[in-house]
Amino acid sequence: MHVFISDAHIRTDKSHRCQMLVKFLHDMRPRLTDLYILGDLFEFWFEYNLVFPKDYFAPLAALYNLIQGGKRIHYILGNHEVTIGNFLKNFGFIVHHEPTIFTIEGKRVLLAHGNRIDRRLWTNVWEALLNSKFNHMLYRLLHPDIGILLAQSIAHLSRKQHRSHGIMSMLENYARRRLRDVDVVILAHSHEPIFKKFPGNKYYINAGDWIKHFSYVMIDGNKISLEYYQ
């Protein structure tokens, strides 16, 4: 069974959505073969050389237990993963920096977060700030307690910009174009779960989020579905 999740934006492992996600991973474990994280698992991910936020421990421990149990976890980076060093790879994640096509149950499945499709002004400003090596250097000068709090606050403002009809149209138009050469397109970023089937047994699906919808995509044999965790 292949499971796809996105946009949990975890800030603390004491939050309801984090506890729901950890429970979900436990429930999925018996039949799960591959887990695909389509970006923005955390509100903000910045790799320091020696530290990582202790409030991320519970979900990371749950994911590590899956990896130790022989499950494959693919991490398709989103726009809240700011700097990626060796931590996630050494942890056991299979990290993908670009949109990636997988062959799953005989179908060509394209996975991407969707932030690079989003060409709205705020998104362009956000990415320019985050991709600046000079800003990364300045950020590292801050104590992690201050830096993480500041970054999470700014990231929260960015997340509030996602839900609009404009971005949903951009994502669907992109998916329709890519469905000419793949069978399934699964995106995220908008936080709105979407499931559309087109002629020729083609699918566009948005995985939604783990803030409001607690939605996920599942490919189990020939079945492709959008599910909601209760």
Q: Report DSSP letters for 31-62, one per residue.
A: T-SEEEE-S-SBS-EE--SS---GGGHHHHHH
DSSP three-state, residue 145: helix
Q: Report the domain count for the chain.
A: 1
Average of pLDDT values for 194-204? 97
- How much is the pTM? 0.86
pLDDT (0 to 100) of residue 150: 62
pLDDT for residue 187 is more than 60: yes
Label residue 80 by pLDDT band (50, 70, 90): confident
pLDDT for residue 212 is more than 80: yes
Average of pLDDT values for 125-139? 63
pLDDT in tens, 53-74: 778 899 999 999 999 999 999 9
Say how far apart CA 206 and CA 132 lie, in whole Å.
Answer: 29
pLDDT (0 to 100) of residue 43: 84
Full domain range(s) for residue 176: 2-228
Tokens 């999740």, residue? 5
Give the CATH number, domain containing residue 102.
3.60.21.10
